[in-house]
Amino acid sequence: MHRTMRTTLVAMACATALSGCAGMQAWQSGPQHMTFFVTSVNPGKGADFGGIEGADRHCQSLAAGAGAGSRTWRAYLSTQATGGLTDKNYVNARDRIGAGPWQNAKGVVIARNVQELHSMRSALVKETALDEKGNLVKGRTEKPNEHDILTGSRPDGTAFPGPPFADMTCGNWTKGGKDGSAMTGHHDRAGPLDESWARSWNSAHPSRGCDVESLRSTGGAGLLYCFATN
């Protein structure tokens, strides 16, 4: 790619993110170097992955199919405690994805560490949030809209409180019906309003339900962010 064209693409991605692009630099590309991707498909049960471990297996399987199975992959998902406000049995998405840096299938670095990933310096935007095959994921202005990515997380990557508060993880990723909901983020950093929540890659709004149909009607396809921990 010519230097001028590459510079233009980077500038477009930065403008979309409405942030600095300290982490958007190109390293070696190819599946053996990929450490971040958006899943290209949902296993077929909506937000029911058989728990967070099942979501990890989905990431691992897709990575292996793309030639990056030698790494340990984790889904960017939080879980909620179920035993009340004093229950500490929850998982923060930010604590399970390794230390970084992370780059997509094209070799573009989306963040150098956990802090940068959850800051305005993150380079995670539509142009960089590629699937495991290096393809773009459809955004808000495309059909079907697939920009809602399941996270179950707050903007800083931490878990929501559990009962009596609302379900934000589709029963800790075991529900695949109309009941429940899950927090989603917008991989294209775009929404119906020019507000920070609408531009959040990991905490934009909850889904209408947990089944495939409900996720689609909200603006997603039950996709996940996957990060390599090594």
Q: Which ranges of the chain does DSSP label H, i.e. alpha helix?
A: 3-17, 52-65, 114-117, 170-173, 212-218
Tell me the pLDDT tens digit for each residue of 172-228.
999 999 999 999 999 999 998 888 888 999 999 999 999 999 999 999 999 999 999
Tell me the pLDDT tens digit for each residue of 129-165.
999 999 999 999 999 999 999 999 999 999 999 999 9
Q: Which domains does the chain have, with CATH numbers?
A: 3-228 (3.10.100.10)
Q: Are 212 and 182 in contact (CB under 8 A)?
A: no
Q: Are 170 and 178 in contact (CB under 8 A)?
A: no
Tell me the pLDDT tens digit for each residue of 85-120.
788 999 999 999 999 999 999 999 999 999 999 999
Q: For position 86, what pLDDT does the model report?
A: 83
Cα separation of the two ends of the chain? 29
pLDDT of residue 15 exceeding 90: no
